[in-house]
Structure formats: C-alpha cells, structure tokens
Amino acid sequence: MKKYLSLIMMAIFLLAGGQVYADSNYAEVYQEGTGNSAVQMQAGMFNEAYINQLGDYNTAEQYQEGIANLAVAEQYGDGNYAYQEQLGVVSEEYGYANAAYIYQEGENNTASQTQARLYKLPSPNVAFIQQFGYGNVAGQTQIGDDNYAHILQVGTDNIAGQFQYGYLNVALIHQWGTGNVASQIQVNDPHYALIDQYGDWNAASQEQYGESNNAYALQVGTQNSSYQYQNGLRNLANVYQYGTGNAAAQVQYGLYNYANVDQYGAYNSSYQYQQGYANWADVDQDGTGNAAAQVQYGWANDASAVQQGNYNMSRQYQEGYLNDAYVNQYGYGNYADQTQIGASHTAIANQYGAYNYSYQAQYGVGNFSIVTQVGVGNAVWVVQY
C-alpha cells in the first residue's frame, strides 16, 4: 500500500514540476489461483497500472489513455470483478494525473471506475473503492478536474454509485451492513456530498447542481430512506435518522438555503421544499409515525417543527419574506397547520396531549399568532389579514 501511495505522489509531483516528455508506461500483473484474468492497456506517458489477484474467478481490466494516470486493483477472494478506465488524449489539454484505486476482499464483489478530464489544469481526479464482504457493487464516474470520490462498503449486498462532472467536487459513501443503497450525482463545482449508513436496507440519494452546495445524510438502523436535491449556490442539507422505516426528502432551489431533519424512532417522515434565498427549515421528530411538511418560497423565511410522541402531524407553508413559523407538539395524534403569505408574520403553535387541532393562516404584513393547547381534543382556528 505504501508503494502505491508513493507512486501516486510521485506522479503528481512530476506534473507539478513542469512539462516532461517521455514514454514511461509501467504495468505489473500478479495472479495466483484458478481462472483469474487480467487485461491492461496503456497509451501515453507516465501511466502505471498494477493488478494483484489471489483466489479464483477474479477479473480485473484497466484501460488508460493520457498522461501520468495511475490505476491499481487488488482483489482477494472468489468471483470478484474490477473495472477501471481513465480517458483523455496525449496532450497538454487532457489526461493529467488521474488516479484510480480498487481494493476488494471477499466474494462476488463488483467495482467500476471511469474518469475523464475537461480542462487544461494539471490536477488529479482520484477515485477510490474499498469493499469487504459478499455481493457488494460499486461504480464511480468522474469527468473534469480535481474531483475526489471514495466508496467504502463492509457487509453484504450493498450498492453504491457516484457521478461527478466539473471540478473540485467531493463525494463520499460509507456503508456498513446488508442491502444498503447509496447514490450521488454532482454537476458543476465545487460540491460536497457525504452518505453514512449503518444497518440494513437503508437507502440514500443525493443530487447537487450549481456551485458550492453541501449535503450530508446519516442513517442508522433498518429501512430508513433519504433524498436530497439541491440546485443553486451554497445550499446546505442535513439528514440524521435513527431507527426503522424513517423517511426524509429535501429539495432546495436558490441561494444560501438551509434544511435539517433529525428523526428518531420508527416510521417518521419529513418533507422540506425551499425556493429562494436564505430560507431555513428544521424538523425534529422523536417517536413513531410522526409526519412534518415544510414548504417555503421567498427569502429569509424560518420554519421549525418539533414533534415528540406518536402520530403527530404538522404542515407549514410560507410565501414571502421574513416569516417565522414554529410548531411544538408533544403527545399523540396532534395536528398543526400554518399558512403565511406576505411579510414579517409570526405563527406559533404549542400543543400538549392528544388529538388537538390548530389552524393558523395569516396574510398581509406583520401579523402575529400564538396558540397553546393542553389536553385532549381541543381545536382552534385563527385567520388574520
């Protein structure tokens, strides 16, 4: 491993020092066992490829075209498959310092990596896959410069895929358990995406377009799911889910929007949609079967929903600017509905107990409403213009 890392650093160092015109391709294949196959094809300068296979029925293929590319594939076990392809042409415009590395240990693992360059920058793309266990599948595609992709999977039947187009993007997927699925798509630059999943049958998806968006998803437990979509500039989305069957969806368009979901328990769900500038949405749910929806258009709107207990529901809709909506529900089967259209409204709903209902609607400018209910079966309606 130290040898491989040193070779990567050497390739990048040589490129940083200036133009070097030479043909120094290097390929090494080591195979031990029955039914192994290895294919390596290189064109250009400073390409290096290594394949080390130990076991039965392993297959590794590496294709390189460009300058100073590095591909390393190591496989231990039975029935593993690794594929790496790095594209470009032998010129100053394409093919600088790409690096791809696959390490697999176990049975029936599958990995795929593809990299291509766009610009005249002597900067490396790095794709890195590690898989331990049985039946894991991983794929990576990077087009551009200075992108970094890393997949780590430990367990059985996990699936991960990453696609990046642009430069300075970072995509990270870490999965431990069985049957987890993760996907990341990032277009333009420089985005950051991270998925951590611990447990079984969790699913997470992240898509980011524009510039400088950040997304993070942490799921611990069983059958949790999350979806994060961002298009714009410097948006931030976070999902934290612990338990069973929780679901979160976040969609953001615009600039400097923030969305956060914390869910603990079972079968809680949240939906957040924001379009505009500097909107803020937060959901915190603890219990079973709670549901929250937040939709905001405009700028500098704030929405917060805190629900503890079982089967509580909240809906918050805001359109305009500088509106604030807060829901706090503790108990069983409570429902809060808030609608604010205009500017500088504030709505607060506090409900403690069971089967309480509140409805707040405010239109115009500068209205304020607060509702507090304690007990069972209370109901209130507030409408202000």
For 320-351, how does the pLDDT look when each residue is reduced to its tens digit (9 = 90+)? 999 999 999 999 999 999 999 999 999 999 99
Entry pTM: 0.80
Residues with pLDDT less than 50, the chain: 1-22, 89-95, 118-122
Domain boundary at 201, 229, 249, which?
Answer: 201
Give the pLDDT confidence of 80-130 residue by residue, as tens digits.
766 777 765 444 444 455 666 666 777 776 667 676 664 444 457 788 889
Closest CA to 263 of 299, 322, 306: 306
DSSP secondary structure, 75-118, as one string: EEEES-EEEEEE---SSSSS-BS-EEEEEEEEES-EEEEEEE--
Backbone angles phi, psi at 8, to 5 degrees: -60, -50
Residues 181 and 261 in one domain: no
Distance CA(181)–CA(164), nearest Å, equals 18
In a domain, 113, yes or no: yes
Same-domain status, 87 and 184: yes
- Kind and range of the H or E run holding 138: strand 137-145
**Residue 206, domain member (yes or no):** no
Regarding whether 188 and 58 lie in a shared domain, the answer is yes
Q: What is the pLDDT of residue 56?
A: 74
- Let me know whether 176 and 238 are in one domain: no
- Please check whether residues 219 and 277 belong to one and the same domain: yes
User: Does 278 lie in the same domain as 190?
Assistant: no
pLDDT at 90: 41
Based on the fold, state whether residues 195 and 254 are members of the same structural domain: no
- What residues have CB less than 8 Å from 167, skipping those under 6 apart? 118, 119, 121, 123, 144, 145, 146, 147, 189, 190
Residue pair 286/279 in contact by the 8 Å Cβ criterion? no
Are both 220 and 99 inside the same structural domain?
no
If asked whether residues 263 and 133 sit together in one domain, one would say no
197 assigned to some structural domain? yes
Instruction: Please give the pLDDT value at position 212.
Output: 97
266 with 329, same domain: the answer is: yes
Question: Look-up: residue for tokens 């100073």?
Answer: 68
Q: Which of 182, 201, 220 is the last residue of a domain?
A: 201
Q: Does 76 reside within a domain?
A: yes
Whether the Cβ atoms of residue 78 and residue 57 lie closer than 8 Å to each other: yes
In-domain check, residue 298 = yes
Q: How many CB atoms sit inside 10 A of residue 239's CB?
A: 30
* Co-location of 171 and 225 in the same domain: no
Distance in angstroms (rounded) separating the CA atoms of residues 129 and 104: 8
Domain enclosing residue 377, as ranges? 212-385
Q: Are strands 357-365 and 335-343 parallel, antiparallel or unpaired?
A: parallel
Residues 333 and 184 in one domain: no
Q: CA 17, CA 349: separation in Å to the nearest integer?
A: 63
Query: In the chain, how many domains are there?
Result: 2
Q: Which of 150, 176, 201 is the last residue of a domain?
A: 201
Q: Is residue 384 part of a domain?
A: yes
Distance CA 229, CA 216 (A): 11
The answer to whether 264 touches 251, Cβ cutoff 8 Å, is no
Residue 23 has a pLDDT of: 52
On whether residue 207 sits in a domain, the answer given is no
